[in-house]
Amino acid sequence: MHDPERAARQSLIDHCRAMNASGLSLNKSGNASIRWSEGLLITPSGRSYDHLLPEDIVFLHADGHCPPGQLIPSSEWRFHVDILHAFPAMNAVVHVHSTHATALACVGAEIPAFHYMVAVAGGDRIPCAQYATFGTQELSASILHALRGGLRACLMANHGQVSIGANLSEAYALAEEVENLARQYLLARSLGPTRDLPAEEMAVVLEKFKSYGQQRQME
């Protein structure tokens, strides 16, 4: 195993351990993947993140085929494979069972434009994918449907949330932001109906987000 691959595998382990430490996912729940070579690297099924080694991370071909001699990949490998195929500009997928996002998902609720930061996921809302049994092709199809239009995150009914990014750190940060927005939305709803921003304003925000964070002005 070459050093870049070992570093990529260790990065997956580090981010999954951070999931546990931050409360984004507890124990063995959640999973993550990154595009690698002609396929992807993904966390194995049912293994404690605290005890994972780089050699335990599973390589899958782009079609989902798992070469022999490895641990069993995450039960959710199908939607990781399908998302990376559908979004060629994205290179990482993070799936967690974070508390507030999951609470909303358990009542089939999306996160509307109650706050302009909802645009961080690429749209004027964060939708909730319809329920399907974990690990199935039906669940993968439901998630892809929810992410249509270039969205980078969605809730998963009675399950959790999924986020994608150009790299693993970006996908992980988006999962954190979705959980934060879910918590804020639930708190706001406890005070009454939210005053959601109109589509016109969210379009302005989305346009501003295209250049948000750039450090150099154009000549």
For residues 28-54, give the mean pLDDT: 94
Res 217 pLDDT > 60? no
**Distances from the Cα of 11 to the Cα of 7, 15, 34, 52, 61, angstroms:** 6, 6, 10, 11, 19
Helix 3-22 and helix 168-191: axis angle, to 10°?
10
Query: Are 64 and 135 in contact, with CB atoms under 8 Å apart?
Result: no
pTM: 0.94
Residues 155-199 have pLDDT tens digits of: 999 999 999 999 999 999 999 999 999 999 999 999 999 999 999
Sign of CA dihedral 62, 68, 70, 72: positive
Percent residues over pLDDT 70 in the chain: 96
What single DSSP character describes residue 143?
H
Measured in whole angstroms, how far is the alpha carbon of residue 195 from the centre of its chain?
27
pLDDT, residue 219, reads 46
Would you call 177 a catalytic residue per the annotation? no
Q: What is the helix (H) or strand (E) element at residue 81, kind and residue range?
A: helix 77-86
pLDDT, residue 28, reads 83
Q: Using pLDDT thresholds of 50, 70 and 90, give the confidence band for residue 211.
A: confident
Q: At 216, is the secondary structure helix, strand, or coil?
A: coil
For residues 102-129, give the mean pLDDT: 98
Res 13 pLDDT > 60? yes
pLDDT, residue 1, reads 65
For residues 48-56, give the mean pLDDT: 94
**In the chain, what are the domain boundaries?**
3-209
Name the catalytic one among 5, 38, 76, 138.
76
How confident is the prediction for the chain on average, in pLDDT? 95
How many CA atoms lie less than 13 Å away from 105 in the CB half-sphere?
28
3-209: which CATH architecture?
A: 3-Layer(aba) Sandwich (3.40)
Q: Who's near 192: CB < 8 A, 6+ residues apart? A: none
Comparing CA positions, the residue from 130, 135, 172, 170 lying closest to residue 147 is 130
